[in-house]
């Protein structure tokens, strides 16, 4: 690979910021909270001591400031792994590529990424309005098939790959190799689960409104293979973090129990609880 990146490959805006995130290197901290919903960004940054940077473009809203004296960024990713592809590559470019010269930096910088999201449980015993840290993640979204992958295998992945019964869907599996280092965030989560990430909210997650999903037993089948919960970003966050040399962990608030047909009675209160719970544990 050539060291100097062409203008078509590393695309920059007129002010030198990265194309979609609209950010300059000085706009982000090393510790970054990723949320799906753009409205959640201000709900997080209102806890900061002060907010120094507020920028946005499309669904990507970023606030950077300090919390208890430590620099921190919160950014919205919108929905889906295709957005995570953009977020991860452009965040990495901000710290590991010299944007002016379009050259790779010789020294690597690692980011700490915390996804603070919502999910639906497919284990009937996992209760709504509780925190679930993703230990293993199954990517059923397809993004990582476009990258040179890395080999990953453990008991969960071996069992999953062996028994996965849908030949047209090609899973890829990743895990959190940082979880235990996270102290309270990891320890205090009520659940440590195996998350499945999907390229949609309806049929891909077995929801049937007017259209039929691939299998009426989809939720039960995945739960029998060890999957705890469904959402739409973590596979790409874990996989690209691993490949790019960053640290990532997902904490999702369980807002739906799909097997019981339950949804959080007050998901706004539940979101506030998620924000306070995570902030309390990632900044001392």
Q: Where in the chain does DSSP place strands (E)?
A: 31-35, 50-57, 60-67, 70-76, 97-98, 103-104, 112-121, 131-139, 172-175, 191-197, 229-231, 247-257, 262-263
Cα separation of 65 and 69, whole Å?
Answer: 9
**Does 191 sit near ligand URA (CB under 6 A)?**
no
Q: How many CB atoms lie within 10 A of CB 101?
A: 11
Q: Where in 25-152 does DSSP place strands (E)?
A: 31-35, 50-57, 60-67, 70-76, 97-98, 103-104, 112-121, 131-139
**Does 233 sit near ligand R1P (CB under 6 A)?**
yes
Site string for ligand R1P, 78-97 (x = CB under 6 A): -x------------------
**Does 118 sit near ligand URA (CB under 6 A)?**
yes
Structure tokens at 3: 């060291």
Structure letter (DSSP) for residue 228: -
233 binds, among ligand R1P, ligand URA, none (CB under 5 to 8 A by kind): ligand R1P
Binding residue (CB under 6 A) for ligand URA from 201, 203, 243, 273: 201
Applying CB under 6 A, the site for ligand R1P has a residue count of 10
Nearest approach, Cβ of 246 to ligand R1P (angstroms)? 18
Name the segment binding ligand R1P (CB under 6 A); options: 130-138, 144-152, 155-163, 228-236: 228-236
Q: Give yes or no for a contact between 113 and 250, defined as CB atoms under 8 angstroms apart.
A: no
**Does 232 sit near ligand R1P (CB under 6 A)?**
yes
Interactions with ligand R1P, residue window 103-122 (CB under 6 A): 117-118
Q: Give yes or no for a contact between 64 and 44, defined as CB atoms under 8 angstroms apart.
A: no
Applying CB under 6 A, the site for ligand URA has a residue count of 10
Residue 66 or residue 130: which is nearer to ligand URA going by CB? 130
Nearest approach, Cβ of 230 to ligand R1P (angstroms)? 8
Nearest approach, Cβ of 154 to ligand URA (angstroms)? 24
Residue nearest to ligand URA (CB): 120
For residues 228-248, b (16+ Cβ closer than 10 Å) or e, as one string?
Answer: bbbbbbbbbbbbbbbbbebbb
**Does 36 sit near ligand R1P (CB under 6 A)?**
yes
Structure tokens at 77: 């990713």
Binding site for ligand R1P (CB under 6 A): 35-37, 79, 117-118, 201, 231-233
């Amino acid at each position: 690979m050539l060291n100097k990146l062409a203008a078509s490959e590393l695309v920059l805006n007129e002010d030198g910021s990265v194309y979609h995130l609209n950010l300059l290197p000085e706009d982000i901290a090393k510790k970054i909270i990723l949320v799906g919903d753009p409205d959640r960004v201000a709900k997080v940054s209102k806890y900061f001591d002060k907010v120094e940077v507020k920028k946005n473009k499309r669904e990507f809203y970023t606030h950077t400031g300090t919390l208890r004296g430590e620099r921190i960024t919160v950014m919205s990713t919108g929905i889906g792994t295709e957005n995570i592809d953009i977020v991860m590559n452009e965040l990495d470019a901000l710290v590991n590529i010299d944007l002016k010269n379009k050259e790779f930096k010789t020294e690597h910088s690692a980011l700490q990424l915390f996804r603070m999201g919502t999910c639906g449980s497919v284990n009937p015993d996992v209760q709504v309005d509780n925190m679930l840290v993703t230990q293993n993640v199954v990517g059923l979204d397809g993004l990582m098939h476009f990258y040179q992958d890395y080999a990953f295998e453990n008991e969960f992945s071996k069992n999953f790959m062996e028994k996965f019964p849908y030949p047209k869907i090609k899973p890829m599996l990743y895990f959190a190799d940082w979880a235990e280092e996270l102290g309270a965030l990891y320890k205090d989560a009520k659940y440590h689960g195996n998350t499945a990430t999907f390229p949609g909210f309806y049929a891909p997650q077995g929801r049937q409104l007017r259209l039929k999903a691939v299998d009426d037993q989809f939720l039960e089948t995945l739960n029998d293979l060890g999957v705890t919960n469904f959402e739409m970003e973590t596979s790409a966050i874990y996989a690209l973090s691993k490949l790019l040399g960053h640290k990532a962990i997902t904490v999702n608030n369980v807002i739906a129990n799909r097997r019981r047909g339950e949804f959080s009675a007050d998901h706004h209160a539940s979101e506030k609880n998620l924000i306070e719970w995570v902030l309390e544990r990632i900044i001392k």
